[in-house]
Chain A
Amino acid sequence: MSIAHTSSSEKVFAPAKKSHRTAYLLLAPGLVWLLIFFAFPLLNLAETSTKTPAPSFETGEFVQTFRFANFIDSFSANQEQFFRSFFYALCATVLALAISYPLAYAIAFRSGVWKNFMLVMVIAPFFTSFLLRTLAWKQILGAEGPVVSVLQFLRILPADATITATAFSVIMGLTYNFLPFMTLPIYASLDRIDYRLLEASGDLYANSATTFRKVTLPLSMPGVVAGTLLTFIPASGDYINAQLLGSPGNFMIGNVINSRFFRVVDYPTAASLSFILMASILVLIVIYIRRAGTDELV
Chain B
Amino acid sequence: MSEKKKVEGDLRLDQVSKTFGDFVAVDDLSLVIPKGSFFALLGPSGCGKTTTLRMIAGLEEPSSGKILIGDTDITEAKAYERPVNTVFQNYALFPHLTIFENVAFGLRRRGIKDVNEAVEKVLNLVELAHLKNRKPGQLSGGQQQRIALARAVVNRPALLLLDEPLGALDLKLRRQMQIELKWIQTEVGITFVHVTHDQEEAMTMADTIAVMNNGRIEQMGSPADLYENPRTVFVANFLGQSNFIDGEVEASDGENLVVSLKGSKIALPKSRNNAKSSSLKLGIRPEKFRLHTADEKLTGNFLKGGVITDISFFGVSTQYLVEMPWKQELMVFEQNDGGAPDLEKGDAVTLSWEPQFTFALDGDAK
Interface residue? A37 (CB, 8 A): no
Choose among A194, A196, A203, A218 the residue that contacts B84 (Cβ–Cβ < 8 A): A203
- Chain A 198-212 near chain B by CB (<8 Å), digits 1 or 0: 011111111100100
Assembly CA distance A215 to B109 (angstroms): 12
Inside 8 A of B78's CB, which chain A residues have their CB? 202, 207
A97 to chain B, nearest CB (A): 20
Asked whether B352 is an interface residue with its Cβ less than 8 Å from the other chain, the reply is: no
Chain A residue nearest to B151 (CB atoms) is A204
Residues of chain A within 8 A of B106, CB atoms compared: 204-205
A297 CB-CB contact with B under 8 Å: yes
Neighbouring B residues of A264 by C-beta, 8 Å: none
Whether, in the assembled complex, A219 has its beta carbon less than 8 Å from a beta carbon of chain B, the answer is yes
The answer to whether A205 and B90 have CB atoms under 8 Å apart is no
Partner of B92, one of A194, A210, A218, A219: A194
With both chains docked as a complex, state the minimum distance between the C-beta of A186 and any C-beta of chain B, in angstroms: 16
Give the residues in chain B near A202, CB-CB below 8 Å: 58-59, 78-80
Per-position binary interface string of chain A over residues 88-102, scored 1 when its CB falls under 8 Å from any chain B CB and 0 otherwise? 000000000000000
Interface secondary structure of B, over-half rule: loop
- Per-residue CB proximity of B259-289 to A under 8 Å, as 1/0? 0000000000000000000000000000000
Write out the residue numbers on chain B whose beta carbons fall within 8 Å of the beta carbon of A219. Answer: 95-96
Complex Cα–Cα for A206 and B78 (A): 10
Q: Give every chain A residue within 8 A of B95 (Cβ-Cβ).
A: 197, 219
Residues of A within 8 A of B105 (CB): 201, 204, 206, 214
B109 touches A196 (CB 8 A): no
CA distance A239 to B291 in the complex (A): 92
Which residue of chain B is the closest to A194 with respect to CB atoms? B92
Interchain CA distance A263-B253 in the complex, whole Å: 117
B92→A199 contact, CB < 8 A: yes
B209 proximal to A (CB < 8 A): no
**B84, B86, B109 — most chain A CB neighbours (10 Å):** B109
Cα A214 to Cα B155 with chains together (Å): 18
User: B92–A197 contact, CB under 8 A?
Assistant: yes
Tell me the smallest distance from the CB of A273 to a CB of chain B, in Å. 40
CA of A215 to CA of B345 in the docked complex: distance in angstroms?
62
Instruction: Please determine whether A200 and B109 come into contact, CB atoms closer than 8 angstroms.
Output: no
In the complex, the answer to whether A199 meets B155 with C-beta atoms within 8 Å is no
Assess whether B357 is interfacial by the CB under 8 Å rule: no
Specify the chain A residue showing the minimal Cβ separation from B163. Answer: A196
CB distance from B51 to the nearest CB of A (A): 14
What is the 8 Å Cβ interface bit string for chain B, positions 105-126, against chain A (1 contact, 0 not)?
A: 1100110000000000000000
- With CB as the reference atom, state the residue of chain B lying closest to A198: B92
**A218 — which chain B residues lie within 8 A by C-beta?**
96
User: A194–B96 Cα gap in the complex (Å)?
Assistant: 13
Would A200 and B86 count as touching, CB distance under 8 A?
yes
Chain B residue nearest to A205 in the complex (CB): B109
A205:B80 contact, CB within 8 angstroms: yes
Assess A196 versus B88: contact at CB under 8 Å? Given A202-B79, A205-B1.
yes
Q: Which of B1-33 contact A (CB under 8 A)?
A: 1
Known: A199-B92, A202-B80. A210 touches B59 (CB 8 A): no
Q: With a CB–CB cut-off of 8 A, which chain A residues contact B85?
A: 203-204
- Chain B residues whose C-beta falls within 8 Å of the C-beta of A200 in the assembled complex: 86, 88, 92-94
B57 at the interface (CB under 8 A from A): yes
Give the distance in Å from the alpha carbon of A180 to the alpha carbon of B199 in the complex: 52
For window 200-237 of A, CB contacts with B under 8 Å fall at 200-207, 210, 214-215, 218-219
Please measure, in the bound complex, the distance between the C-alpha atom of A297 and the C-alpha atom of B96, giving whole angstroms: 8
Beta-carbon contact of B109 and A210 below 8 Å: yes
Residues from chain B with Cβ under 8 Å of A210 in the complex: 109
Separation in Å of the B233 CB from the closest CB of chain A?
Answer: 35
How many Å from the CB of A173 to the closest CB on chain B?
A: 35
Residues of A within 8 Å of B86, CB to CB, are: 200, 203
- The reply to whether A203 and B59 form a contact with Cβ atoms under 8 Å apart is yes
Of B79, B84, B96, the contact of A199 (CB 8 Å cutoff): B79
A214 neighbours in B (Cβ, 8 Å): 105
List chain B residues, Cβ under 8 A from A197.
92, 94-95
B97 to chain A, nearest CB (A): 8
Give the B-binding residues of A (Cβ under 8 A): 194, 196-197, 199-207, 210, 214-215, 218-219, 297
Q: B residues near A, CB below 8 A?
A: 1, 57-59, 78-80, 84-86, 88, 90, 92-96, 105-106, 109-110, 151, 155
Q: List 10 A-B contacts (CB under 8 A).
A: A200-B93, A200-B94, A201-B94, A203-B58, A203-B80, A204-B80, A204-B85, A205-B80, A206-B80, A214-B105
